[in-house]
Amino acid sequence: MRTYNIYIILLSLLFMLTTVILSLFDQASFGLYFSMYVMEYFVLTLLFTYLNPKARRLLNITACLLFVGFGLLVATQTIAVLGVLP
Amino acid sequence: MLRNPYVLTGTVLIFIGASFIPVFYLLLRSTPLTALGVSVVILGIVCLGLGRTRPETSPEVSAVLLQAGVENISALLEELGLASKAVYVPSSMTYGKPRALVPLISNSSMPHIRGKLPNRLIVTYGPDPEDIGLMITTPGSPTVAMLESKPGPSAKELESALSHVLIGMLDLANSMRVAMRDNKVTVEVSNPRMEYPNMLVYQCMGTPLASMIASIAAEALGKPVAVDSEQYQKSKSVIELEVLR
């Protein structure tokens, strides 16, 4: 389970650093934070190639959910830009 | 299920994240804190997912089962007075799983296996009357079943297969390196995490780690393989295998 522990610790560190750095730059766009989290999740999961196939399958499902969330954010932003929603 | 530390951590993280997101977003109106809450929920989901892939059997129970199995094999080999080196045979040369063949007659030369070996305890592997041996299931035998696909015979593919099973799935080492030359395969294992008592059976079968490596190597090469030597240094093990014809 050492691999799992390293994966979780690295992911936590990445998320924490991203939040701290973006907040230092006074970023107020939630979409930016979420996009960075999704990108970091994808990259880190890809780098851990020797994971248990069952673990990989579950992480892929999580990746799909995050991608759906990202898609919803993009759709909301697009609608706001097009001026359909107030 | 909640005894699993990953599931427990995941559940707590999801609960904490989900509780604080509305507070940060609606009351404090802070985007960074809301994003932090979301990241905590994502981490909770990841922990929950990884926790579900953790085996139900604890490592202590697995160690007990391994010890019992090895002691049984040791007792069998000592009773029969077998001192020959075991030959790890791939599944393509048996009518079942990959196993290890221990010749009953000690010989300086390695056995020449002709044809497929039957799925029995005592088998005949050649035309001579002395070509009789024991077919034993070793720790390496079920390890081969963990491979997603049969690896190729190159050093890179063998290294990838060994890393996938022994590092990714079994967490037995930090890294592996494979080198092939003539009929020798050298496997360097960094920081092996398997401890076992010094037993006579390991001189015949090789240690459990060597057994797993030899089984996977035999499967990849499609040829029988024997453990030639094992050297253990501070943070590295070097296992040399001999590939038989």
Predicted-complex ipTM score: 0.90
pLDDT at B16 over 70: yes
A34 — pLDDT class (breaks 50, 70, 90): very high
Give per-residue pLDDT as tens, B167-204.
Answer: 888 888 888 999 998 889 999 999 888 776 777 778 88
pLDDT at position A16 is 95
Say whether pLDDT at B109 is over 80: no
User: Does the pLDDT at position B209 exceed 70?
Assistant: yes
Q: Which two tokens stand for residue B154?
A: 């190159």
Calculate mean pLDDT across residues A36-46.
94
Position A86 scores a pLDDT of 54
The angle formed by the CA atoms of residues A46, A50 and A52, to the nearest 5 degrees, is 105
Q: B205 is written with which tokens?
A: 């079968």
pLDDT, residue A81, reads: 85
B220 close to B161: Cβ distance less than 8 angstroms: yes
Contact A58 B49 (CB under 8 A): yes
CB contact under 8 Å between A8 and B43, yes or no, is yes
Kindly tell me if the per-residue pLDDT of B137 is higher than 90. Answer: no
Please report which helix (H) or strand (E) contains residue B14, including its range: helix B5-22
- pLDDT for A54 equals 81
Q: Between A and B, how many residue pairs show a Cβ–Cβ distance under 8 A?
A: 79
Entry field: residues in chain A? 86
Q: What distance in Å separates residue A51's CA from the closest CA in chain B? A: 5
Q: Would you call B31 and A29 a contact, using CB atoms and an 8 Å cutoff?
A: yes
Band of the pLDDT at B226, cuts 50, 70, 90? very high
CB B49 within 8 A of CB A61: yes
**The model's pTM:** 0.75
Residue A85 pLDDT > 90 = no
The SS3 of residue B205 is: helix
Averaged pLDDT, B81-109: 83
Q: Could you count the other beta carbons within 10 Å of the beta carbon of residue B123?
A: 19
Q: With H, G, I as helix, E, B as strand and everything else as coil, classify residue B84.
A: coil
Per-residue pLDDT, A22: 94
Give pLDDT tens digits for B20-77. Answer: 999 999 999 999 999 999 999 999 999 998 888 777 777 777 778 877 888 888 888 8
pLDDT, residue B224, reads 92
Closest partner residue to A22 (CB to CB) among B32, B49, B167 is B32
- What's the mean pLDDT when you consider all of chain B? 86
d(CA B242, CA A80): 68
Burial of residue B137 (CB within 10 Å: 0-12, 13-18, 19+) is middle
The whole-angstrom separation of Cα B20 and Cα B71 is: 54
